[in-house]
Amino acid sequence: MIGPALGAMLPAALAVALSPFPLIAIVLILSGAHGRRNGPLFAAGWITGLAIAATLVAVLFGAADDPGSTSSAIADWGRVLAGAAFIVLGARKWWKRPRAGEQAEPPRWMASLDDATAGRALLLGALLSGANPKNLVLTASATASVVEAGAHDVGLAAAVAVYVLLASCTVLGAVGLHLVGGARAASFLEAVRRFMVAHSTVITVIVLLLLGAGVLGDGLSGLGR
């Protein structure tokens, strides 16, 4: 049952990993005065937030592998609503994108990331992963898919662990590269940050529309079972 479970949650894990803002945040933290301390703390908070969210969903939807159960119906209706919301949000974000010559305002939480305290770095990682509405929906959908695929106990724990690691691969990769790569790695990460800032709207819109269509389709398919 692990194979189908992993296949079901892979798109959501990659969508979380490729979100622009966490990558921008971790590069800003790593480039700060305490980057070697705060970077790993941010990554630890990120992993913890995702793990807590996935565990809560697994507990709440533990009976979703029965197509006739209330848990399964709630999960499917949740996917339908979430998928439609993703599509609407993607269209809205594209409509309100900065026009030529305009510059998007960075989120307030990005202020002073380069000199964040250890506690703030840890908390920010947890909030950006586990409390981010988009990540919550993706994590809920992925974990529910794992349960519906029939994974339980050790299999469920293993699938959730793989999901968390895949969804964290870009953050962990940036931290590892910074710790071992020196000046060349710092230059590369800065180039990645600039790219993400310049194209964050396009990346976010594409992710929202593609995932919205996928999540909506999964929900409708589940309701039709």
**Residue 59, domain member (yes or no):** yes
Query: Who's near 75: CB < 8 A, 6+ residues apart?
Result: 61, 64, 140, 144, 148, 222
Residue 78 in domain = yes
The verdict on residue 176 lying in a domain is yes
Instruction: Write out the residue range of the structural domain in which residue 63 sits.
Output: 2-100+111-223
How many C-beta atoms lie closer than 10 Å to residue 104's C-beta? 12
Q: How far apart are CA 60 and CA 82, in angstroms?
A: 17
CA angle, 115 then 172 then 199, to 5°: 75
CB 202 within 8 A of CB 181: no
AA identity, residue 70: T
Asked whether the predicted pLDDT for residue 65 surpasses 70, the reply is no
Domains contained in the chain, number: 1
pLDDT, tens only, 109-139:
666 676 778 888 899 899 888 888 888 888 8
Write down the pTM of the prediction. Answer: 0.79
Instruction: Spell out the SS3 assignment of 23-59.
Output: HHHHHHHHCCCCHHHHHHHHHHHHHHHHHHHHHHHHH
Nearest to 20 by CA among 172, 200, 191, 207: 200
Give the pLDDT band of residue 173 (cuts 50, 70, 90).
very high
Q: Is 209 part of a structural domain of the chain?
A: yes
The answer to whether position 106 is within a domain reads no
Per-residue pLDDT of 186-195, as tens digits, reads: 788 888 877 8
Does residue 87 sit within a domain?
A: yes
